[in-house]
Amino acid sequence: MDFGRRFETRQLLPVLFRLALALCFLWPKAGLALNPGLSLSQYVHTSWVQSEGELIPGVGALAQTTDGYLWLGTWQGLWRFDGLRFTRWTPQAGPPLDDTVMALAADGTGGLWVGTRRGVEKMEAGRLSSYAGRAGLTEGMVKSLREDSAGRLWIGGVQQGVPGVTVLDETAVPVLRNVEVQTLALDRTDRMWAITGTGSYLCSASESPPACQSKERRFDRPADPQDPLHSIQLPWVSAMVQDRDGNLWLGTRGQGLFLVRGEHVDRFTRQDGLSSDVVEALIEDREGNIWAGTENGLDRFREPKVARWSTAQGLAGDSVFAACATADGDLWVSSLGGLLDRMRSGRVRHFHLEHSEIQLIFADRRGQVWVGTTKGVFRLEGDAFRPVPGGSGAVFDQVFAMTEDNSGTIWMADGAQGLAALREGKIVPAAVPGVSSNGIYQFAATRKGDLWFGHYEGGISVVSHGSVRHFASGDG
C-alpha cells in the first residue's frame, strides 16, 4: 500500500533526503541513553505480516491510546492490536468509517483522531464523530495528524480545497497553504515539523497563531563509502519520529528505515527483515519501543538486554576466539584467521597477525595490550604488534592465560612450557612453590597480592603470603 501514489508524479529533488537528515542537526540534542554504538540490526526486531493466517493490510498510520492499545490505519479501515491479536474496529452506531485510514493521533483523554479521504473524525468511547463542517474544518484528504502538548491538533492535508497544514484548537487555523504534507513530527521542545515533497517547515507551537519557517537546506555530508547515504538518492521521507533519547528515525518509500544518531546513520531494509522497504508510519510507544507501519505489515524495534556484535557491525570475523576490555573503554576482539579488532566509541579498527590464531588478549594496568598467538606472544607498541622473545630461544605459542600481580610482574600459562613470567623483556619459565607449573588452565591476581590458579585436571590453588591452599570439588 502507498497512500502517497497520487503525489508521485511530482519530480523529486535529489537533495531531499539530505534535507530531511539535516533536521536531526537542527533538532535539540539530548543525552543518549541508548548505546551510541548499537546499530539497527542489533535491536530486537519483530515483524507481523499475518494474523491468524490472514495477511495484515498495509499500515499507513499508527497511534497508541492511553489504554495502551496500538491502533493501525490501513486501506481496510481501522485496526487495533493488543500485542497478540489484530482486530478490525467498526463504529457501534452511526455512519461507517471510511475504508482508507491515512492518519492517526491519540489525544490525552483516551480518544483517537482519525484522518481519512473524507477529512478528520474522532473516535471516543467506541463512537465516531465527523469534524467535517465543524470548527471551521472541511472535507478533504488528511495525510498526517499530530497533537501537541497543549492538546491542539495539527492536520496535514486538504482543507477548503487547498493542501497545507491546519491547527485545530477551538477553531481551525491554516498555518501553511499550498504545500503537500507527507508527514508531521513533534520534537522534544514541542516544535512541529512538516515534511513535504519539496522540503520541510518548522512551526513554533508557542506562538498564536503558530508561525512556520521554511527549513529547505542542503546537508553536505563528507564522502564516505561506509556511509549508507553515500552516492544514494532517496525518495522523500514518508514518516519521521524523534525518540526520547533524541535519535531521529526516518521512514522512506522504497529505501527502508533509517536511524540518525548524531553523525552516525544506520539503515534497515527488507533484506534485514523489515516487512517492506515502503515505510508509511513511525511512532514510539510508552515503553520506548519503535513501531513502523509498512505496505506489508507492522514492525517493532526494542533495545536488547544483551547487544550482539558481528561482521554486520564492523567486526572482521564472526568466529570470536577472545575478548578483552581495557580501562580506557576499548574492547579488543580476536577472530578466526589472526584477525583482531579494537572497538572504540562505536568505531572498529582492524589489525591482522598473519599466519596465526589469536587465543588470548590481555591488558595490564598501564593499558599495554598483549596477545597470545600460535606464533608466540605479541604486545602492542604504537600501532603495531611486536613479538616478545622467549628466554634461551624458547617458544611460547600456547599461552592461554595471563595476569599481572601487584608488583607489576606479568605471569603467563603456556600449554606446553607451563608457568612463565616476563623478566627483563623476555618470557622465561617460572615456578611457584606448592603449585604445579603444568596444566594451569587459568589464573588471576588479586589486589591483595594473592594468586589464584585453575587447573586442567580440576581444582583451584591459592597462593597467599607464601602459603598455598588447594580446593577441589569436595570442598564445595
pTM over the 0.85 mark: no
**Which range (26-40, 289-303, 334-348) has the least confidence?**
26-40
pLDDT exceeds cutoff 70 at 22: no
pLDDT for residue 113: 96
How confident is residue 16, by pLDDT bands cut at 50, 70 and 90?
A: very low
User: Which has the closest alpha carbon to 280: 65, 81, 115?
Assistant: 115
pLDDT for residue 216: 53
pLDDT exceeds cutoff 80 at 6: no
Q: Is the Cβ–Cβ distance between 222 and 216 less than 8 Å?
A: no
Beta bridge partners of 241: 249
* Residue 342, burial from CB neighbour count under 10 angstroms (0-12, 13-18, 19+): middle
Task: Give first-to-last CA distance, the chain, whole Å.
Answer: 64
Mean pLDDT of 170-199: 87
pLDDT exceeds cutoff 90 at 39: no
Q: Which residue has the cell 491479536?
A: 85
Mean pLDDT of 149-165: 90
Q: Is the Cβ–Cβ distance between 16 and 216 less than 8 Å?
A: no
| Cα–Cα distances in angstroms (integers) from residue 414 to residues 386, 417, 418, in the given order | 19, 5, 5
pLDDT for residue 233: 39
pLDDT exceeds cutoff 60 at 24: no
pLDDT exceeds cutoff 80 at 13: no
| Mean of pLDDT over the chain | 84
Per-residue pLDDT tens digits for 45-97: 999 998 667 788 999 999 999 999 999 999 999 999 998 899 999 988 778 89
Q: Is the Cβ–Cβ distance between 226 and 268 less than 8 Å?
A: no
How confident is residue 5, by pLDDT bands cut at 50, 70 and 90?
A: very low
pLDDT for residue 393: 84
pLDDT for residue 458: 86
How confident is residue 15, by pLDDT bands cut at 50, 70 and 90?
A: very low
Burial pattern 419-458, b for ≥16 Cβ within 10 A else e, equals bbbbeeeebebbebeebebebbeebebeeeeebbbbbeee
User: Which has the closest alpha carbon to 371: 333, 428, 407?
Assistant: 333
Per-residue pLDDT tens digits for 306-319: 777 788 778 888 89
d(CA 330, CA 220) in angstroms, rounded, equals 31
Mean pLDDT of 448-462: 89
d(CA 67, CA 79) in angstroms, rounded, equals 15
pLDDT exceeds cutoff 80 at 476: no
d(CA 116, CA 105) in angstroms, rounded, equals 12
Per-residue pLDDT tens digits for 402-443: 999 988 999 999 998 899 999 999 999 998 888 888 888 888
Measured in residues, the chain has a length of 476
pLDDT exceeds cutoff 80 at 373: yes
